[in-house]
Amino acid sequence: MIEKRKDHLRLPETTIVPLDQIRVDEDFDASDPIVQLYVKLEQGKLRVALTRLHQSHLHSGYFERSSSSTKHTSNLKPENVHLLEAIIKSGGRPTVDAIWSPLAPSGGGYMCPEDELALAAYRNLGISMIPCRILRPTKKTSTEAAIWLENSGNQVRMAKSIPPKIDNVGFFVHPDDKDFPFEERVSKITQKSLEVREEITKFHLNVPDQTHFHHVLHALLLRHERILDSVSRLVQLDRIEHASVLVRVAYESFLNFYLDWLSPQFFGPRLQLLSYVRAMDVDNSTHDEGLKTLSNFIDLFENTTKKGIISPLGEKIHRDIYAGLSSISHQSYVYLEHEASNFWEAEPPEQLLTRHRAAQIVDMVSYALISRVANDVGIDL
């Protein structure tokens, strides 16, 4: 059995409640088709997809046909929303179940009949991209990646992954602005990161037995700021090649964060468990049990290309930048040959990765990271 660390929790404590002790409000209006859908889910006969959906695509309650019209039913009790707000502000990120319905307004949308309190709490707190579990998902793409899950005996395994639809990539500075000084770009990004870190501490509600998701967000930005500072110092020394190694570190850190961010209460504990098991560096039954628990997620967690393909920067950008950054990090022989065609004593006359290209990569990775962290404390960049 893998021992749970008491000093860093990624999931709230779970309490088993006997079925005969669960009470349903007398005025709760249930939908039989939705009840049957959840029966299939509990029997392991239903695939689901983990993703983030914009709150505008989610409809509280459910829709059903009533004679020739569409009936909307909601069981939301607004007076209880503050309970879920407290959970979110203390580091919890409850997953909202979403079910596609063609009866929803504007030609269809996702209805949330079972998690109306959580949906309302996210909206009240200004968190626009909401962690969702889609029941009976389709292959249609959305703005964020989707990881499909299926039952496999006593384990949950990944069935497939759906990359996001990418219309554009965000930057803090226009990507074609070659005259914007590298140091000023890093300073601008670092200042924004610092502002978001301050908002994290303001947003956080300190309560006993809290989960540590907000601490993870804060540490992630702080570490990113340190990398940016190191990159900037190396660029000032005209060591673009050395700076590029740290750019790759920042990129890989973002890819890991993105998986965690998609579904913090599903992926977070699994990424945490994998890091514990790998740190054990032993071959024993505890080690094997930990890996078995992770099923086929290990391949996704440890394969940079697979994570890059489903990232919001996209497969094309991954292939464009990662091969070059990897060859620099692994010291491809071409870099030695680049300086071995003459008896240079000073810096070579050209860089294999330009200062401007390094600035573009730093900027797009930083924006993708900081904007998503900001989302989770109610800020839209």
CATH code for the domain of 110: 3.90.1530.10
Give the whole-angstrom CA distance, residue 323 versus residue 120: 43
Residue 72 DSSP SS3: strand
Nearest to 249 by CA among 213, 270, 232, 224: 224
What does each C-alpha distance from 288 to 5, 53, 301, 355 come to in angstroms?
A: 19, 35, 17, 45
Q: For position 284, what pLDDT does the model report?
A: 65
CB 253 within 8 A of CB 280: no
Q: For position 162, what pLDDT does the model report?
A: 96
Q: Is residue 368 part of a domain?
A: yes
Residue 54: which domain range? 19-162
DSSP 8-state symbol, 26: T
Give the residue ranges of the chain where pLDDT is below 50: 1-5, 349
pTM score, two decimals?
A: 0.91
Please check whether residues 344 and 287 belong to one and the same domain.
Answer: yes
Q: For position 2, what pLDDT does the model report?
A: 44
Please check whether residues 139 and 67 belong to one and the same domain.
Answer: yes
Q: For position 14, what pLDDT does the model report?
A: 84
Q: Is residue 348 part of a domain?
A: yes
Q: Is residue 170 part of a domain?
A: no
Q: Is residue 176 part of a domain?
A: no
Q: Is residue 96 part of a domain?
A: yes
What phi-psi label fits residue 106: left (phi over 0), alpha (psi between -120 and 50 degrees) or beta?
A: left
CB 165 within 8 A of CB 356: no
Picking from 128, 162, 196, the residue at the C-terminal end of a domain is 162
Please check whether residues 29 and 129 belong to one and the same domain.
Answer: yes
Q: For position 231, what pLDDT does the model report?
A: 96
Domain count, the chain: 2
Give the whole-angstrom CA distance, residue 372 versus residue 313: 13
